[in-house]
Every structure is written in C-alpha cells, then in structure tokens.
Amino acid sequence: MNFKHKSEVKYDGILKIVQEMESKEKSSNLEEIKEEYDQRISNQLNELQMFILHPMEQLKLQNDKEIWDQVNLVTYQDFSSISLSNATLLVAFLEKAQGFYRNVPILHYIYYCMTKTNRDEKEEIFKLLGENLSLLKVQGLISPKEMDTLIGINALIEENSNQLSYPIWAKALLPLISDMSCHTSDSYRDILYDSSSHLLVRKIPIAADPQCFTLPREAEKYLSESALKKSMVLSCSHAKGLIEAEILIMVEMLNKGQITAYLSANVGKLIMK
C-alpha cells in the first residue's frame, strides 16, 4: 500500500465517523455526539498526520543486521591496512561529502522557491529571512562565524533571485551550503521554510490533491474545536508535503535536462502529471 493510498484510507475513515455522527444527530444532542466521537476523530487525524510527515518507508539498510554485518566486513577488509595520513584524508573527504548530501536539499528548495515566486513574493521572503536571521542572532543560537555564512547565503539568494539557471545557483551557493554544520543547516532550513513555505502552499491548486486542504464544510460542525484546529494543522502539513514531493520531481527533471518544462509549470502542476 503506497503513501497516497494509506492517507486516503485514513481520510475516508474520518468521513465514515462523521457519517455515523450525522446519523445519530436525529436522536441525540450534537454536543454530546461530538464529545462521544472526539477521541476517535482525533486519533484518525493524528494517524493521518503521521503518514503525511513520514511518507517514505525506511531504507532496509537502517534496520537490517545482515546488511550491516556485510558493510562492516567490507569496511574492515578494505580499510584495515590504510595508513593514518590516508585515513585522515578519507575522513575529511567523507565529512565533506556528508555535508554536501545533507545540505544540497536546501539548494533545491531555494531554487524551487525563487523560480516559483514573483517579485513581490521574493521581497516578502527576503524581509522575513532578514527578521528571522536577526532573531537567531539575538538568541545566540549559532556562532558569529556561522552567522556570517548565513548572511552570505542570504545575500547570494537576493543577488541571484531572478536567475533561472540551476548551474549558476549551484556554483554560487554550494560552496557555502556544503560547509554548514548540521546544527547550522537545520537552523537555516527552519527559517527558510518559515519565511517562504506559506507563499508556495497557497499557490497549490485544489486539483493537485482535493483532500489535502480541508474536510468537507458539512463535516466541520461535527468536529470539536480541538479537532478543527488539528485538521487545519494537518492540511498545512499535507500541503507542505506536496511541495517537497514536487521539489523531488524538479530535481529529476533538472537531471534529465527538462529545464524549460519545469520552469513553465505552475506550482502543483508537476505532481498532477
């Protein structure tokens, strides 16, 4: 069962509960019905949110002892005789590669964001980025050196904001992005998303996934206030998940040289194909 099917099953489960409540309304008080079914609906919403936030199955490598035993064996055989100097070089290379693969999704998000927003939206993003970065500085959560790196990245984003060439973006940003520590990259990813994701989410057409934004209006009166709030949070999470899925499609298209097709597609159109 794939992720979409699982999420649809959970969504349908919520609708079935609402239908049960609707049938009981003729003979019972609505508030009593809402109280009776609140926990079941809340559980369904929680499960659906987990599918949305964690749609990908774990790699077999992560939990398979047999695979790890083979990896350890090969590692020992190949590297047990390596010299200290070569081992030091190898570790440095692996750390560099780890930084690249950990942080390159930030570059992908920046490119997607800048190619799918207009001038006014970009200005709002830069304003929010600056404010969030200043807050990060005041809180003292990262070192002055790391702050200089983030300020440099922000400046490069603004400088290249109208650039459509991905190679130019990569050349400008990858040297800085690849060297960011795990903590710094996580902090920057958070403020980057907080400053821009709302602009991308509202561009997604309902047709991209009719179930991702809200339950039918006729169902809302059967939900408690807490369930309605949870539904809104879930809708936002699902919409952001669609953006992440579309960015993965973008990367595939860029690798295949389908740049024109990507640039001509509005937000949400790629995941509808």
Give me the phi and psi of 141, to 5 degrees please: -80, -15
Distance, in Å, from the CA atom of 247 to the CA atom of 186, rounded to the nearest integer, reads: 18
| pLDDT tens for the chain, residues 1 to 273 | 333 444 455 567 777 888 888 888 777 788 888 888 888 888 887 777 676 655 544 455 556 677 777 877 877 777 777 787 887 887 777 777 777 788 899 999 999 999 999 999 999 999 999 999 999 888 887 888 899 999 999 999 999 999 999 999 999 999 999 888 888 888 899 999 999 998 998 888 754 444 444 566 667 777 777 777 777 777 777 777 788 889 999 999 999 999 999 999 998 888 766
Q: Is 206 exposed, middle or buried (0-12, 13-18, 19+ CB in 10 A)?
A: exposed
Q: Is 21 exposed, middle or buried (0-12, 13-18, 19+ CB in 10 A)?
A: buried
To the question of pTM greater than 0.85 for the whole model, the response is: no
